[in-house]
Structure 1
Amino acid sequence: MKARNKLTLIIMFISGSLVAQRPPAISSPNINPDKSITFKYYSKNAKRVSLSGEFLKSPISMKSDTSGIWSVTVPPMTPDIYPYSFYVDSVQIADPNNSYIFANERFKRSIVDIPNDKPLIHSLQNVPHGKVTYQYYNSKSLNITRQLLVYTPPNFDASGKTKYPVLYLIHGGSDTEETWTKVGHANFIADNLIGQGKAKPMIIVMPYGNVRPAPMLDFTKDIVNDIIPFIESNYPILNDSKNRAVAGFSVGGGQTLNIGFTNTDKFGYICSYAPFTATEEFKKNFDNWNPNADLINKQVKLFTISVGTDDFLYESVKKNIAMFEEKKIKIKPLIVSGGHTWMNCKIFLTNSLQEIFK
């Protein structure tokens, strides 16, 4: 009996210790009725915790209560999708209480989605929905099997008679093939615009654009020689240039320019979002460039470059726009407010989907 009582005491002690070590259940982020947001983080040992987000000009300090819960409430914000993170004693971490994570290979960030009273264009709405499929293909150009995402529109029938135009949509430099859906909500934007009759039903291919340590120009080969043939062999595709578009953000925007303007016979639509062009490939393709402007303007039905006025690339993008205009290439710039953000990406994509394949 004594042994049993002793064992019971040991079990109770261990259980009590585990409960004492378990962090309290907290909810973060909490969107308040006035659209202000309360962020929380638990740590008994941290000396300083701050909140950083693309809705803030600079990080703000969080305050801790006696239980070790750090918190801060930010003022009401415009409904949108915003990345944010915590800095715990100067170390960046994603919010451990939020499962909505920013798809990125370098930044450790979470996402807060502030809904609007009227659904936004990137919101899940009551319209027919397409499907996002994860696919693997063999890249002979890169000598590796790679993954890409394919959005197929509502009522898509792989064995049906309908054939579709294709948009090849490229992410930013440290993003992944998932960023356009998980952060940019490209599939919901397409669903909503197609449902409203503002965009043509299309297939959207979202490849993985990072090819490190291979030269970036190898991604152009991957798109043209591997990805396009894979898609056109496995999906009902309209496979001429007037039914093929390429678009991308940041590094992907620079890749878009490289891919599009070295293959104007293959892409009738080139849409570049805040392009980063300080690359060897861009220099190779566009330094001392003497294009046949008349031919390109006949081949390319729409060429756009979009950027925000607060984007750190704004001045370089303006120079790129001026360069294309000097070469007599027809270009349709889109200048909006805001910075180098995925909030602006959604605006750029929304604009493009309504203009391509028309």
Structure 2
Amino acid sequence: MLKSFFSQPLLWLLSALSGLALAQPPRGPLVMSPQVNADKTVTFRYQAPQAKAVELSAQFEKAPVAMTKDAQGIWSVTVGPVKPDIYPYSFRVDGVTVMDPANVAFFPNERFKASLVDIPGDTPLIHAMRDVPHGSINYEYYPSMEGTTGSLVVYTPPGYDQNPSKKYPVYYLISGTTDTEETFFKVGKTNLILDNLIAEGKAKPMIIVMPYGNIAARVAEQKGGSKPADPTVRDGADAVKRANDFATDLVKNVIPYTEKSYRTIPNRENRAIGGFSRGGGQTLRTAFSNMDKFAWVCAYSSYLSPEEMDRSYPALVSNAAQTNKQLKLLWVSVGSDDFLYKGTVEFMDYLKAKNVNYKSLITDGGHTWMNVKTYVAATTPLLFQQ
């Protein structure tokens, strides 16, 4: 009789693994999505054999686009050509919005996380990965308000780790409503924009600190509560209180943590603050309440109403000469199709009437991160040019 070469426990293990293998559901076909073609058209695919209808919803399309199903149950559509940029998109499957499971790139958000498609230009765009020295991205945690722990994404420029004696100016950059601390990094590609501008000699090397803007949501989450609804009135009492809470956290917690943890130049001439949408409103309120902390202020697709300016910052507008001396840059930008266009232009007109100096840029397009990248690329070369 032949002697078995397998022990009883090993036989049990092999039997179990065999059973698991048999129990695995069959794998479907490999799905490639999105596929960016040489002519700038893009093919999207989604596997859903049982679905009755699948549509593509993309920021470069005015309306959802119907997809067609093949014999393998893969829905697809080719659209474009599409203007080179980075765009969010999603699928609607029998009326339900879903991410693209074949794509690892997604839009960080408190709510639905859209997928991202990057259509490269024939010549590299300002946010493209280029063969230049690259900075680093660090994730940081700091002690914040009400005993909570705050989170930051921090960019350090090329050469930061190689020259331990050099100190840098800091740009505090704040995302919009429902965005997270990752959005300027993963969607705005701020790190790559700065790498490219620094390599071209157009921007000074700087540290960029990207905080999470929704203090109320973080406090609720960490204390076991429910995330509060976003304010319904942009300059209402609740919105202003939350913005002031953010300003307190930034000035009392984020800046001290940054200046302790990184090699910064700790004075107002070497601190800038900027933000998009809600983050732009937080920027303006934080800066105007702390003129001793910031000399460079950038508002992207955001504004403060004349009523709030008169009520909350009378000294800033009543002594324009002093304000213009303090602020080395006050920047305001917006897209012509942005739903905040009217209020932003009204804010510019107010500043002009009060003789407060500012620089502005009005672009095509709406309230999008495509425009935000344009604003970052336009403003960072102006910062810290003393």
TM-score by length of 1: 0.90
Structure 1 residue 129 corresponds to structure 2 residue 134: yes
Correspondence 1:249-328 to 2 at 5 A: 249-275=276-302, 287=311, 289-290=313-314, 291=316, 292-328=319-355
Q: Distance in 1 between matches of 2:36 and 2:310?
A: 47
**Structure-2 residue corresponding to 1:232:** 259
Q: CA RMSD in A?
A: 2.2
Superposed CA deviations along residues 57-91 of structure 1, whole A, max 9, x for unmatched, are 11111111232111111011111111111111221
2:376 alignment counterpart: 349
Letter in 2 for 1:321: M
Contact map agreement 1:38 1:71 (CA 8 A) in 2: yes
Number of aligned residue pairs: 343
Deviation at 1:13, TM superposition (A): 12
Letter in 1 for 2:216: R
Residue identity in the other structure for 1:18: P
Aligned to 1:193: 197
Q: Which moved more, 1:318-327 or 1:178-187?
A: 318-327
Q: 1:95 to 1:277 in 2, by over 3 A?
A: farther
Structure 2 residue 35 is matched with structure 1 residue 30: yes
State the partner residue of 2:12: none
Alignment match, 1:44 = 49
Q: Which residue of structure 2 aligns with residue 18 of structure 1?
A: 25
User: Could you tell me whether the CA contact under 8 Å between 2:243 and 2:281 is conserved in 1?
Assistant: no
Structure 1 pair 305/276, CA: closer, same or farther in 2 (3 Å)? closer
Report if the CA contact (8 A) 1:51-1:62 is conserved: yes
Matches within 5 A, 1:97-112: 97-112=102-117
- Structure 2 SS opposite 1:206: strand
Q: Is 1:75 the counterpart of 2:75 in the alignment?
A: no
Residue 321 of structure 2 aligns to a residue whose secondary structure is helix
SS in 1 for 2:139: strand
Q: Distance in 2 between matches of 1:223 and 1:268?
A: 15
2: CA distance, partners of 1:34 / 1:63 = 21
- The answer to whether structure 1 residue 155 and structure 2 residue 159 are counterparts is yes
Give the CA deviation at 1:12. Answer: 9.4
Cross-structure match for 1:3: none
Structure 1, gaps ≥5 residues long = 1-7
Letter in 2 for 1:135: E
Shift of the 248–304 alpha-carbon distance from structure 1 to 2, 3 Å rule, reads same
Identity percentage over the alignment?
A: 48
Alpha-carbon separation, structure 1, partners of 2:370 and 2:297: 21
Give the whole-Å Cα distance in 2 for the aligned partners of 1:125 and 1:158. Answer: 21
Letter in 2 for 1:350: A
CA-to-aligned-CA distance 1:296-328 (integer Å, 9 cap, x gap): 111100101111111111111111212222232
Aligned-pair distance for 1:159?
A: 7.1
Mapped partners of 2:307, 2:211: distance in 1: 23
* Residue identity in the other structure for 1:199: A
Q: Which runs of 5 or more residues in structure 2 are unaligned?
A: 1-14, 220-241
**1: distance between equivalents of 2:208 and 2:20?**
57
**Distance 1:68-1:159 versus aligned 2 partners, 3 A rule:** same
Question: For residues 121-168 of structure 1, what are the alpha-carbon distances to aligned partners after superposition, in whole Å with 9 as ceiling and x for unaligned?
Answer: 1011111111011111101x3431111011111111387221111000
* Aligned counterpart for 1:54 among listed residues 38, 54, 59: 59
Q: CA deviation at 1:275?
A: 1.2
In structure 2, do the counterparts of structure 1 residues 142 and 216 end up closer, same or farther at CA, with 3 Å as the change threshold?
Answer: farther
Q: Within 2, Cα distance between the matches of 1:312 and 1:34?
A: 32
Q: 1:170 to 1:142 in 2, by over 3 A?
A: farther
